[in-house]
Structure 1
Amino acid sequence: MDYVFEMPGEMLVEAEKKGRVELLEYDSNTYDEENRTLHKKAWVYLPYDYDETKNYNILYLLHGGGFTQDWWLKLFPDTVTILDNMIEKKLCDSCIVVTPTFYHDEDDKHTKDESRCENFCHELRKDLIPAAESKYAGFSGKDVSEENLIKTRDHRAFAGLSLGSMTTYRAAFYNNFDLFAWYGPFSGCCGPFGDHEVEVKRICETLEKGKENGYDLKFMLCCNGDKDIAFEEHKDIMEKAVAKSDLLIQDKNYDFFIISGGVHDMKAWQLHMYHALQVFFKN
């Protein structure tokens, strides 16, 4: 695809056809914290032409460290404007965007425990996806049995920024590859204290096991700025993974978009989302 390195101005002008944002509330019992039920919230973007009788692809889109479900659509409402314009101008098909949080509650967002990235895989599978897709018109047709969610994986994507990029690998890719076919890690894979070789091994094993079970990677669009604090580790890991795995093929099911001079900020992440939605759900 043809990349741009700055958000086109027309994407930030209020669109004529506006989608809407709704609050999704659900309970999670997957963490077993003294048998405590966690009451969780996620924001859901619905396109202007949302129709309960149709089927929509769904992007699950995650924030970074220290923030919550409010990040993408509420703290940065121009994300909604970008989505409206992309759909109105047919840069991407009408889709649903769900922005959850991997934190357990407001207090938990102050934790420095990166295990949240991996542990979110259970809530994602057992609570969030069933809650979202039993309410909204995804390709699962509101049948949220595990068998049907697996069958409809080609219509589900996961992306996230910074700590949410790490979560894209750990919760969605490594642990729920049977539920997602499209991935957008924006800014990082393992963080400054991770083991690059371990990540490369996990990436390759996920793809190999997926192939054995009949699940292919439709596309992974890694994104980063070359001045981003997470750039070098992300680039190193993915270069090694591409060299090692014949299931990760440049321009066929993989690319690494780099913003020259790009840093660890929302301007870059919105541009990553803009590009990812032009790739996701296309094959």
Structure 2
Amino acid sequence: MRKIICTALWIFSFSLLSQAQKTAPKGFDIEQKLMSTGKIDSIIYPSKTVGVSRKALIYTPPGYDIQKRYPVLYLLHGIGGDEREWLRHGNPQVILDNLYGEGKIEPMVVVMPNGRAMKDDRSGGNVMAPDRVAAFSTFEKDLINDLIPYIEQQFSVVRDREHRAIFGLSMGGGQALNFGLGHIDTFAWVGGFSSAPNTKMPQELLPVPKEAKEKLKLLWISCGDQDGLLHISKRTHEYLLAHEVPHIYYLEPGGHDFNVWKNDLYQIAQLLFKVVK
């Protein structure tokens, strides 16, 4: 059973959720005939953190205009993936293009980086090797000190926290929560899909709940109801609930797979960078 939990204190988040459908409709991730579509490009940015140039994918929206400034969503992959995982399995450009075609989302740039910050950052092999797991933590510095400055220098984006979001799936969900809540002065929109055990314990994740109450535009926690990692999302939700931190907790049908994560992207894309009227 799908569960969406909000309290009377969470009017902002509840109002945002009401703007999106609770379950993505059939065909939401299938390419449609549209007047205009976005563009996916591969970029290479210098990483002082790692000491090499690193790859990322970037989606620019239909009608991208360098005379305008766009908000940015940083969208992270899982432990076995790389910067192309979302593209290979999630059809993010199709989901977003279809939503743009229906007028349901704000124009935004979406950056899909490689969250394994090490010199040999290729996917495959022993994903649980200590150096490869540690590289997911190292990505915090690479993201903040290297990737974000590069994006803001090279693309026409807004350079403030109110126009930056960070979300991810599984290991990337843990990263998004760890980094987003650890850098509330950098991100105003934060969320994890089926977050993995790399997610910090709630007390460490958000030791000062008041900060999140005052500064976050949206805090999203979601997971499939058949996912073996559900307890990670549940413990985070329960801590936020106990401390009256506004957030959306979305328990949806499914396991630990892209059927769930594509639906999550469909949902959050409609919430980001909007003002409740």
Indicate whether the TM-score tops 0.5. yes
C-alpha distance in structure 1 between counterparts of 2:53 and 2:230, whole Å? 35
The answer on whether the counterparts of 2:24 and 2:266 sit within 8 Å (CA) in structure 1 is no
Q: Which residue identity is paired with 2:73?
A: L
Alignment of 1:22-101 (within 5 A): 22-31=41-50, 37-73=51-87, 75-76=88-89, 78-101=91-114
Deviation at 1:227? 0.3
Deviation at 1:6? 4.2
Q: Corresponding residue for 1:258?
A: 251
Distance 1:171 1:48, change over 3 A: same
Tell me the TM-score normalized by structure 1. 0.81
Q: Which residue identity is paired with 2:184?
A: F
Q: Corresponding residue for 1:275?
A: 267
Q: Deviations over 1:56-77 (max 9, x none)?
A: 111000100111001112x136
* From 157, 162, 168, the counterpart of 1:160: 168
C-alpha distance in structure 1 between counterparts of 2:241 and 2:177, whole Å? 15
Distance 1:274 1:208, change over 3 A: same
C-alpha distance in structure 1 between counterparts of 2:196 and 2:240, whole Å? 12
Q: Deviations over 1:5-59 (max 9, x none)?
A: 344325523241211111111121214xxxxx22200000011110000011110
Q: Deviations over 1:135-176 (max 9, x none)?
A: 111112xxxxxxxxxxx10000000000001111222322x2
Distance 1:280 1:30, change over 3 A: same
Unaligned 5+ segments in structure 1 are: 32-36, 141-151
Alignment of 1:222-237 (within 5 A): 222-237=221-236
The answer on whether the counterparts of 1:59 and 1:97 sit within 8 Å (CA) in structure 2 is yes
C-alpha distance in structure 2 between counterparts of 1:15 and 1:220, whole Å? 33
Which structure is richer in relative contact order (CA contacts within 8 A, separation 6 or more)?
Answer: 2
Q: Deviations over 1:171-224 (max 9, x none)?
A: 2322x2211000120002535xx7xxx62212332543567xxx6011111111
C-alpha distance in structure 2 between counterparts of 1:221 and 1:270, whole Å? 15
Tell me the TM-score normalized by structure 2. 0.83
C-alpha distance in structure 2 between counterparts of 1:167 and 1:15, whole Å? 35
C-alpha distance in structure 2 between counterparts of 1:189 and 1:65, whole Å? 9
Deviation at 1:225? 0.6
Q: Which residue identity is paired with 2:190?
A: Y
Distance 1:210 1:79, change over 3 A: closer
C-alpha distance in structure 2 between counterparts of 1:181 and 1:67, whole Å? 26
Deviation >4 Å, runs of 4+: none
- How many residue pairs get matched? 250
The answer on whether the counterparts of 1:92 and 1:278 sit within 8 Å (CA) in structure 2 is yes
The answer on whether the counterparts of 1:169 and 1:189 sit within 8 Å (CA) in structure 2 is no
Deviates more, 1:201-210 or 1:265-274: 201-210
C-alpha distance in structure 2 between counterparts of 1:185 and 1:15, whole Å? 31
| C-alpha RMSD over aligned residues | 2.1
The answer on whether the counterparts of 2:228 and 2:255 sit within 8 Å (CA) in structure 1 is yes
Matched position secondary structure for 1:14: coil
C-alpha distance in structure 1 between counterparts of 2:134 and 2:177, whole Å? 13
Q: Corresponding residue for 2:9?
A: none
Unaligned 5+ segments in structure 2 are: 1-16
